[in-house]
Amino acid sequence: MRRILAIILVVVLSGQVAAHGANSYAIIVRTSSVQPESADLLVNDTLVLYNTVTWNRSAGIDVNGDGVDDYVCEMTGKNTSSNTDECQFTFENGTWSPGGYVVTVYQNGSSWQDVVVDLLPDNHTEGSAPGPYVLLPDFDPMASNMISISEEGDTFTLSRGSVDLVPGSNLYVFSSAGAIVSVKSETAGDGASALCTIGGDGSEGCKIWFSGQEWTDGSHKMSIIGPDGDTVGSFTVNLGEASDEDARTGMVQIVAVVGMVICLGAYLWIRQREE
């Protein structure tokens, strides 16, 4: 019996093993604002919201964009004797996929402020500076908020033709091309500066922040500008279109765990009847 339980525990927990030690990042929920308004996290990191006022607040994350929060947390008024005035969201490996998420803070029963989270895969370079805002991960082709530019001969190729982001999140652009390339919005004027420029040594990338105040919901076409100033490629950024990929991933894991628990229960019940 102990062997069976051990095997089941190993199978269930194996998908939750992280490749790095988990970290916590603080968001201060003040009287009229949240500071900071965004954070870059690695899988298995925890986002902690601290309520600094005397009244209750709550927070939630709508993963699949159906208008209903899939994860919720309550915060009491500021309490120095306990942690009931905190909300914690742990982005566990295997349950959450890399990409953009919005943590909504509620006050008096209504949506009040948003905190944008960019969840990054745990394959970053160990020499990277710790903490949010400066972390640039390695390229992950499965991450929904990353795109890569490659060059073969005179042809530039993109890893994907479009990306779906929530307003206020970041897009990570990487290039393995030998030439210097830049990214520019096609709706910007001719004199507008590039959103980012990549040196093209095969290991560089850049981060573009799509602020909710500067970018409207909808599709935005981006041009890849080569070293001669010519457009060598393009892709589309869709803002405000939430993906249900993470909800599907979590549901598959839940079904798998429930199935194993049911099988274990049935086995124990049959064995007791035989004895």
pLDDT tens per residue, range 142-162: 888 889 998 888 889 999 999
Q: Is 216 exposed, middle or buried (0-12, 13-18, 19+ CB in 10 A)?
A: exposed
The burial class, CB within 10 Å (0-12 / 13-18 / 19+), for 10 is exposed
Q: Cα dist. 189→5, 69, 235, 247 in Å?
A: 64, 39, 18, 39
Judge if 31 and 126 occupy the same domain. yes
pLDDT value at residue 32: 92
Asked if residue 95 and residue 58 are part of one domain, the reply reads yes
Give the separation between CA 35 and CA 28, rounded to whole angstroms. Answer: 5
Domain edge (last residue) among 112, 135, 158: 135
Taking residues 167-188, what's their average pLDDT?
83
Residues 100 and 27 in one domain: yes
Domain contains 195: yes
Find the mean pLDDT for residues 50-65: 94
Same domain, 175 and 229: yes
Q: How confident is the model at residue 244 (pLDDT cuts 50, 70, 90)?
A: very low
For residue 196, pLDDT beyond 90: no
Between strands 24-29 and 34-35, the pairing is antiparallel
List the domain range (segments joined by +) for residue 109.
20-135
What pTM, to 2 d.p., does this model score?
Answer: 0.47
Which of 71, 105, 135 is the last residue in one of the domains? 135
Whether 271 maps to a domain, the answer reads: no
Mean pLDDT of the chain: 78
Same-domain check for residues 82 and 48: yes
Check which CATH number belongs to the domain holding 191 and give it.
Answer: 2.60.40.420
Q: Is residue 7 domain-resident?
A: no
Q: Among 71, 100, 135, give the residue marking a domain's end.
A: 135
**Rounded to whole angstroms, how far apart are CA atoms 51 and 262?**
40
